[in-house]
Structure 1
Amino acid sequence: MTGDGDGRGARVRARVRDAAPGLGTLAGYRRQWLVKDVVAGVVLTTLLVPQGMAYAELAGLPAINGLYTSVLCLLAYAVFGPSRILVLGPDSSLGPMIAATVLPLAAAGGDSGRAVALASVLALMVGAVMLLASVAKLGFIADLISKPTMIGYMNGLALTILIGQLPKLCGFSTDAEGLLGEVSGFVRGLADGKAVPAAVAVGVGGVVLILVLQRWLPKVPAVLVMVLLAIASTSLSDLDARGVGLVGTLPTGFPPLSVPHLAWDDLAPLCAGAVGIALVSLADTISNASAFAARSGQEVQGNKEMHAIGAANVAAGLFQGFPVSTSGSRTAVAERAGARTQLTGVVGAALIILMLVQFPGLFRNLPQPALAAVVITAALSLADLTGTVRLWRRRKAEFLLSVAAFLGVALLGVLPGIAVAVGLSILNVFRRAWWPYNTVLGRAPGVAGYHDVRSYPDAERLPGLVIHRFDAPLFFANAKTFRDEVLRLARDKPPPRWILIAAEPVTDVDTTAADVLEELGKVLDDRRIRLVFAELKDPVLRRLEGYGLTRAFGGDRFFPTVESAVAAFRARTGAVWTVPEPPPGTGTDGGTGTDGGPARAEASHDDPAPPR
């Protein structure tokens, strides 16, 4: 009985650790970690407070809601998060998406309270999407956005944030919408003399100070230093009297647990925004978790991360918060400060609560342009110009994808921009499958096996035999591309006797492709050209057997290796390996024929009749 009880207890504890990894970490907590976690929590709080307020205003919400959000997501992730040091919170990449979703709906109500309620519902929806995706084990969804399109999206987002914050940096506001409208509104505001010199000095000085400290003194908390100096400048220079807006005293206390109300008319736009935010948050979380897990030797658990992010968003949504994601910068700060576990985040949450309850006026003299400086420097960190240049140098097609995603965000808006980014990523995958790389193989001197004649233009080939490789599964979209390429090879002069498909990259053949193969075999038979296959994977070969193609073609057309097929061809024809002569007009490189395809050897006129 005791043994059964111990076994059940162990299973219960294992299930608890699986559902709430943070509690499992607490069970194995070491005393020597405590001082480091507490110190890291204090250091982290100095970044959490100004960034939380700044990103709340970026989302079009009161600054105080950024602090509510920070507290709840830190506590929730400390319980449910699988990573020991990953830090969650309001994020600069999500702020514009939240604003784009909530503000058009809140405008109808005309008050910030409605905007907060809508943002809280949005957080609950994002949490629900994440939790459902976790249950369905859909962590791979983060891969829907390719790196080139993500770079373009983030570049567009950085530009959008930067332009949107410039009026605030200069002490005025505009009612313009869209990137071009905001640029125009900012320029008109400057022309009309709306810029406040003191605000410009604080804002621009704050941006420069943060960038300089981050570049030359990375261990110094740049944001905290800038915030403290900005608060000091308010007292010394009476910035309020000079027309500079201040944060003011924050509301005292912490909001009660509440379920925000939702009008049915708001459901559809909020759902669309929630899906986009969840996708970006997931991609950001997986990338950050992977980066920091690699440093600490941990393993990334995508589905558990989704579960934790979902729980954090639900917790934030129940206490007047808004959607959150992981933060690479805040996690890096916690790591450099010596964080060992999620107790660091708990300490940060406790200090924020203490500030709200006992010292709500701590940041009352913080200038609004200083918050704009925090947002702008965060936006600059989102941009990846080096990565964009690398794409240009390495692969022009992916550079163009990145530019298209950038333009989607800049010209259409943040939410349409994420749709453009996902759509482009999916279309790029489809394009590669539709027009995959295909080539002719030959025997390269001194290299085992058979290789691409584009890479080895001097590769030997057998007269009368074309070894063709098609680097994709055969399915409805590319079957005709495959057929057209094979027929092009069959039109060589003199025509080949065998066209051997090196089919190792062909991982599947659907019914449409099977019909095309059967028709292609008949066409080539009529031309006395034999279509044969080598290195078909067993599942693909069984599928062809199910389609009846092995009977239609005959079993002697399927070979286990390219080498065995080549040996069979040589046994039937007596062909000898030769180095092809370059076609006329191509010089001595022999790389391509006149139609853009690779050059091939011609069979001698006294070869035996083509085998049947």
Structure 2
Amino acid sequence: MDVRQVMPSWSRGYQRSWLWPDLLAGVTITAYLVPQVMAYAELAGLPPETGLWACVGAMLVYGLLGTSRLLSVGPESTTALMTAAAIGATPGAARDPAGFAATLALVVAAICLAGWLARVSVLAELFSRPVLVGYMAGIAALMVVSQLDNLTGVRIEGDDVLTELASFVRNLDQVHLPTLLLGVGAAAAMILGSVLAPRAPVALLGMLAATGLVALLGEGHGLRLVGEISIRPPAPGLPDLELGSIVAMLAPALGVAFVGYTDNILTGRAFAGRDERVDARRELLALGGANVGSALLHGFPVSSSGSRTAIGHAVGGRTQLTSYVTAATTVAAVLFLAPVLEAFPEAALGAVVVYAATKLVEVGELRRFARFRRSELVLALVATVAVLAAGVMWGVLIAVGLSVLDLLRRVAHPHDAVLGLVPGLAGMHDVDDYPDAEEVPGLLVYRYDSPLFFANAEDFRTRALAAVDAAEWPVEWFLLNVEANVEVDITAVDALESLRRALAERGVVLAIARIKQDLRDSLAPSGILDRIGEERLFPTLPTAVEAYRRRER
């Protein structure tokens, strides 16, 4: 067997000139990653070192299976918040949150692997852009609310964002001023630093500055620190698996898998090179494998990180060797820099989460939606409100539902056109677009610009008959241009038959032009083509028009 067949795709044809950029990118990502994933672990309600080991396991496996050259996988804000929501919503999970989180990662992996086997990579396309932007804005708001206690010292209670905000307002008298100043100051410094120096590891620099400041001030100011971190690497192994627990976490795991997979595909494609293809189906396998790697090191669900991927790209990383370098330097950081990590202030970790949240809110995209079509902006805002009102888990389902409803809304009432001949232009064109277009007397050429199915079948029939009623002269032939009707279901077939009968009652002949073989194959079993007649089926519009003109010769 050729050993190259089992090697990662990125390693084939690896060039020596790529080594230094990959090494530099891996070390740079580590500098950004360490404080970030520790903060995400706390966001998930887990010990900070959990995020570091989850990252190591995920990167090692994704580097073998993934199809993106640069995608950086590991703990991410969205999946961390969803993990916290799953822990809070599942009975008994709070007794052993680390074990629950590792089991959740395994269930997510199983869902991804099942999706890979079932070839359901189409799920990656179910988030429309406005819904995705709105959903991520809602996640950002939840992230900020979740860190109010770390940033202010106020004890917050509640099961959702509204009750948590209400609790925060009631307990404002508990604000711890040193914590507030440190947390807000660190967050502001990171945000400003990212604007002034986009390539700098501002999260790490901000964290180190905050740690140094706390050390200078000394103890006695009531600032909470991360505290003891276990430097002993976790023994690889599976968490305790109980059937009841697995069944209880199926719903949240589906949400995590869906969001994580969508994030993988969108981020991978955003940073793909000109000749690079991110294989949507293979990414399901790779994401499943990454979550297995995280679970084996007792981590929690992982997905891709757009910010870390962007850093690797900006520094010049070329392949997934950057992930292996990042994993190795992360392990080195845990083993040799534990005293520094233990001195990180909780308020500064909260600031890292707030800084990451600001990266999820795409104000420019919201403005673009408003300029393009106001309904796109409304869709984004509704997705944001859904996440805030219903929580992360239901927010995923609502966001997907909004995308599907938006799709159905568009195809349920698509553009249609009456076609005519335009002097000087080949073919037939929409008479509304060309005022000088000339219709053939007695022939109505009609086009309905959508596949035909249950959501628009009645709309198609109604508007087709309305076009006949609105014609300037009596219609003898109704010529249906089906070039856009590439798909039909049984409801649409019934609507087409109903249209044929209604036209026949008016003495109008139904003919079809530009019919493709796939559409013929779909329509043939119903017998409607026989009722229309083979002599009324035409491959092109000109042949149909010529047949109409010859009808009485």
Match of residue 60 from structure 2: 75
For structure 2, the 5+ residue unaligned runs are: none
The TM-score with structure 2 as length reference comes to 0.94
C-alpha separation in 2, matches of 1:408 and 1:145: 14
* Displacement of 1:233: 0.5
1:144 and 2:112 aligned: no
Match of residue 221 from structure 2: 242
1:348 and 2:326 aligned: yes
Match of residue 510 from structure 1: 489
Q: CA offsets, 1:561-595, max 9 Å, x none? A: 22222233344589xxxxxxxxxxxxxxxxxxxxx
C-alpha separation in 2, matches of 1:138 and 1:14: 28
Conservation of the 8 A alpha-carbon contact between 1:102 and 1:270: no
Match of residue 126 from structure 1: 108
Conservation of the 8 A alpha-carbon contact between 2:445 and 2:481: yes
Q: CA offsets, 1:41-62, max 9 Å, x none? A: 2222111110110001111111
Q: 2:148 aligns with which of 166, 169, 172?
A: 166
* Displacement of 1:174: 0.3
Match of residue 255 from structure 1: 234
* Displacement of 1:560: 2.0
C-alpha separation in 1, matches of 2:181 and 2:536: 79
* Displacement of 1:356: 2.7
C-alpha separation in 1, matches of 2:198 and 2:478: 62
Q: 1:395 aligns with which of 349, 373, 378?
A: 373
C-alpha separation in 1, matches of 2:146 and 2:238: 31
Conservation of the 8 A alpha-carbon contact between 1:465 and 1:500: yes
Q: 1:89 aligns with which of 62, 68, 74?
A: 74
* Displacement of 1:378: 0.7
List 4+ stretches of structure 1 deviating above 6 A: none
SS at match of 2:510: strand
Q: How does 1:46-57 map to 2 (within 5 A)?
A: 46-57=31-42
1:529 and 2:508 aligned: yes
C-alpha separation in 2, matches of 1:308 and 1:508: 33
**Structure 1 range deviating more: 257-266 or 118-127:** 257-266
Q: 1:60 to 1:484 in 2, by over 3 A?
A: same
Match of residue 46 from structure 2: 61
* Displacement of 1:271: 0.9
Conservation of the 8 A alpha-carbon contact between 2:57 and 2:296: no
* Displacement of 1:494: 4.8
Match of residue 606 from structure 1: none
**Structure 1 range deviating more: 522-531 or 426-435:** 426-435
C-alpha separation in 2, matches of 1:479 and 1:280: 33
Match of residue 458 from structure 2: 480
C-alpha separation in 1, matches of 2:204 and 2:330: 15
**Structure 1 range deviating more: 497-506 or 48-57:** 497-506
Match of residue 259 from structure 2: 280
Match of residue 287 from structure 2: 309
C-alpha separation in 1, matches of 2:422 and 2:161: 55
C-alpha separation in 1, matches of 2:206 and 2:402: 40
Match of residue 373 from structure 1: 351
For structure 1, the 5+ residue unaligned runs are: 1-8, 575-612
1:437 and 2:419 aligned: no
Letter in structure 1 aligned against 2:37: G
Match of residue 543 from structure 2: 564
Letter in structure 2 aligned against 1:121: T
Q: 1:154 aligns with which of 136, 145, 156?
A: 136
Q: 2:161 aligns with which of 147, 171, 179?
A: 179
* Displacement of 1:346: 2.0
C-alpha separation in 1, matches of 2:344 and 2:320: 29
* Displacement of 1:458: 4.0
C-alpha separation in 2, matches of 1:530 and 1:377: 66
**Which structure: larger Rg?**
1
* Displacement of 1:15: 4.1
Conservation of the 8 A alpha-carbon contact between 1:118 and 1:262: no
SS at match of 2:90: helix
- How many residue pairs were aligned? 552
**Structure 1 range deviating more: 393-402 or 378-387:** 393-402
* Displacement of 1:263: 4.1
Conservation of the 8 A alpha-carbon contact between 1:231 and 1:363: no
Q: 1:201 to 1:556 in 2, by over 3 A?
A: same
Q: 1:534 to 1:268 in 2, by over 3 A?
A: same
* Displacement of 1:29: 4.4
* Displacement of 1:90: 0.6
**Structure 1 range deviating more: 45-54 or 255-264:** 255-264
Conservation of the 8 A alpha-carbon contact between 2:461 and 2:498: no
The sequence identity of aligned pairs, in percent, is 38
Letter in structure 2 aligned against 1:84: R
Letter in structure 2 aligned against 1:209: A
* Displacement of 1:28: 4.9
Conservation of the 8 A alpha-carbon contact between 2:88 and 2:94: no
